[in-house]
Structure 1
Amino acid sequence: MNDVELVRLVESTWLTARSDQRYAALKALRVAVSSDLIDLFDALFDAKLSNIEDDPNAIVVILVHGIQTDGAWHRLVQDAFSDVPNINVIEAGYDCVTAAQLVSPFRGTPIEKVAREMREARRREPRARMMVIAHSFGSYILSRILKDASDLEFERIILCGSIITRNYKWDLFARNVGPAGILNHVGTGDFYPVLATFASVGYGASGRLGFKTGKVVDRFFQLGHSGFFTPRHIRTHWLPFITDGRIERSDWDVNKPATGLAILILSHPWIGRLIGVLILCSLVFFGYGLWLLI
């Protein structure tokens, strides 16, 4: 490909893509551009973006995935929202975070990366309505950004598989979010938020038990950690909330059984961690005993 062909390709991509999908289309195209033409592509890209009229009715939805994944569910959200005008779905990804990093105190890099993506989205569309869908470790990233980055504000937030601590100060860190503006989808078959609670610090079982606070609307489902990622669930429960603020009911809210005592104990912010420490010590002692026998 030469420079003339690149100019034509950028122009055709821009003209054929929907207005709210042009940025994503050009960003995807950039991956295929050779290194010797990157500077020209970036100049053409910037020229196109500078001519965009900022639409106050536009909605920017930022997706933040969890650990040990590349956020494949993002494609499902983009597809479900593709027919809705004025919605731009943006991925705020980061390099793979392992379970070992999850339980360690070294979590700053993905938080900084996602915050940069959010600021860039705001810079591109300063008058757009900013919203977030965050899953698992992505929910923790969002909680840290809300706490530390006062320049980033969101109109609506969807959480699923959340590992945010249940006593998170939503009234302080998300005071700019309106009533019923935070939706927490809880999976009663999800053990990972419980595991994160007793295996490390800084996390909570909000994705298993809910927040139970007036600032957040909890909706319960008979699902596991990633069971929310189906076209039906996204279209039925996420799309109405993002576009209209409408929260659909879940039959499982009233039909779900009582939570078992073991889950409640393991989800406790200090009793659960004490049990986690005892389990870890027992495993180390058992392993050391086997090593001596060998």
Structure 2
Amino acid sequence: MSKYLIVEDDLVKFSAIKEELLRLKIGENDVEHVISVNEATNLLKVRVYSIIILDLNLPMTKNGRPVENGGISLLNKLKSNPSKYNLPKQIIGLTSFENLKKEQNSNFESLCFSLHDFQLSDWKTVLKNKIAWDLSSNTSKARVSGGDVILSVHGIRTLGHWQEKLEKSVCNHQYNFVFKKYKYNYFSAFQLLFPKYRKVVIKKLASEIEILSEQYPDSTLTVFAHSFGTYAVVKALENLPVSCDLHISKLFLVSSVMKSNYCFNNLIRRFSIKDIFNECGYNDNVLLLSHYACVDMGMAGRSGFEGARVINRFYNGGHDFFNREDDFIDKFWVPVICGNGNEKFDERDFSKFRENIEIMLYTKHIPFVLFILMLLLFVLLVL
């Protein structure tokens, strides 16, 4: 994981720099802060940093007074005794004093580092570019084979018993996966209506995925998510800090409450996702509720995702179609997990009347009365 060290004694400047790092989706745990030269050198003896953001007017010790050449003295220590310290890949100098910038610019340039005026905004662009370069260089390295991890996330109004069935089925076929079953408290349909309740689950899940990437840095990840779990997984991946190095082999979205027009391109590029399978129950009436009653949700688990980046597979059944037969997981999911299954599958057999109904439901061109009836049904489900 990339780490970033801010060496700055002015707390206002430190807050602005840290805020910029967080805006660039650097995780808060990846940012460290010291206020003196000695503190920085002590850390550099034992820790490795990708980028140091360095002030020039710094105290030599924690309780000392700032001196104009404080930052330069740190540079000189690293340059004169490189074997003693873990040298960072990049150093970005920042100062609010124009005279210091003019005097010390050559010292930074001689080491191919840059020095910038804190009062101007160009340092933010430089910081953004250096972080992007650092992360690209890290992810381009060959990954050491470390086994595969399967992460499963359940939906609302359930404790996710299918997660245990999935693990048992895969293990029975003697495939070597590490299983991680993400569980959260019972989540009601009423809570699903309000984004603030969803955000709690998403934030915790994102943290769990980040920890998982640290525990298994050389592994590929297969993700299984059901119902609201599909929304939570996608949003958690969107909110992961850019320093999170994660490689996803397969993403299974089952009975998804995502909108059908969601674009996966950014996630595919960032996490090198090889395959996305959208597992649909074409009689999944529960998803009509998420489609019409929940902000930022849809019924992709019934109608499928648009475009060519996702493999939509349609099964005869409702919201838990995978429970229709005891060996469903063995027949339809295990072979695909292990790379030798039939990717395309479609059990739909619609009449012209049913096709027109589906089109009408998907485009939300339904009578207002029907909408009210579905809301009433939603309330009944909650009670």
Name segments (4+ residues, structure 1) moved above 6 Å: 280-283
- Structure 1 residues 168, 123: closer, same or farther in 2, change over 3 A? same
- Corresponding residue number in structure 2 for 1:279: 372
CA distance in 2, matches of 1:62, 1:239: 14
Residue of structure 1 aligned with 2:184, choices 91, 94, 98: 94
Q: Structure 1 counterpart of 2:310, which letter?
A: V
- 2:248 equivalent to 1:158: no
- 2:356 equivalent to 1:261: yes
* Mean CA deviation greater in 229-238 or 108-117: 229-238
1:144-183 equivalence runs, <5 A: 144-149=235-240, 150=242, 151=244, 152-176=246-270, 181-183=275-277
- Structure 1 residues 276, 124: closer, same or farther in 2, change over 3 A? farther
CA distance in 1, matches of 2:337, 2:312: 16
How far is 1:169 from its partner?
A: 1.3
Structure 1 unaligned runs (5+)?
Answer: 1-53, 284-294
How far is 1:109 from its partner?
A: 1.1
Contact 2:152 2:181 in 1 (8 A): yes
Corresponding residue SS for 2:334: helix
- 2:154 equivalent to 1:61: no
Q: Structure 2 counterpart of 1:212, which letter?
A: E
Residues 57-88 of structure 1: CA distance to partner in whole angstroms, max 9, x if unpaired? 51101001000111011111010011334201
How far is 1:282 from its partner?
A: 9.8
- Corresponding residue number in structure 2 for 1:71: 160
- Structure 1 residues 276, 146: closer, same or farther in 2, change over 3 A? farther
Q: Which has the higher contact order (CA 8 A, sep 6+)?
A: 1
Residue of structure 2 aligned with 1:240, choices 324, 332, 335: 335
> TM-score when scaled to structure 2?
0.54
How far is 1:201 from its partner?
A: 1.2
- Structure 1 residues 69, 179: closer, same or farther in 2, change over 3 A? closer
1:6-17 equivalence runs, <5 A: none
> TM-score when scaled to structure 1?
0.69
How far is 1:198 from its partner?
A: 0.5
CA distance in 2, matches of 1:116, 1:282: 34
- 2:321 equivalent to 1:227: yes
- Corresponding residue number in structure 1 for 2:303: 209
How far is 1:131 from its partner?
A: 1.2
CA distance in 1, matches of 2:361, 2:289: 8
Corresponding residue SS for 2:248: coil
- Corresponding residue number in structure 2 for 1:105: 195
- Structure 1 residues 239, 143: closer, same or farther in 2, change over 3 A? same
Structure with a larger share of its residues in strand: 2
Contact 2:146 2:216 in 1 (8 A): no
| CA root-mean-square deviation | 2.8
Q: Structure 2 counterpart of 1:239, which letter?
A: V
Q: Structure 2 counterpart of 1:235, which letter?
A: D
CA distance in 1, matches of 2:375, 2:301: 28
Structure 2 unaligned runs (5+)?
Answer: 1-142, 377-383
How far is 1:174 from its partner?
A: 2.6
CA distance in 2, matches of 1:63, 1:140: 13
CA distance in 1, matches of 2:269, 2:219: 19
How far is 1:271 from its partner?
A: 4.6
Residues 13-64 of structure 1: CA distance to partner in whole angstroms, max 9, x if unpaired? xxxxxxxxxxxxxxxxxxxxxxxxxxxxxxxxxxxxxxxxx97251101001
CA distance in 2, matches of 1:190, 1:233: 17
Residues 144-189 of structure 1: CA distance to partner in whole angstroms, max 9, x if unpaired? 1232225344221011111111111111233246686001111111
Q: Structure 2 counterpart of 1:123, which letter?
A: E
Q: Structure 2 counterpart of 1:267, which letter?
A: Y
Contact 2:206 2:239 in 1 (8 A): no
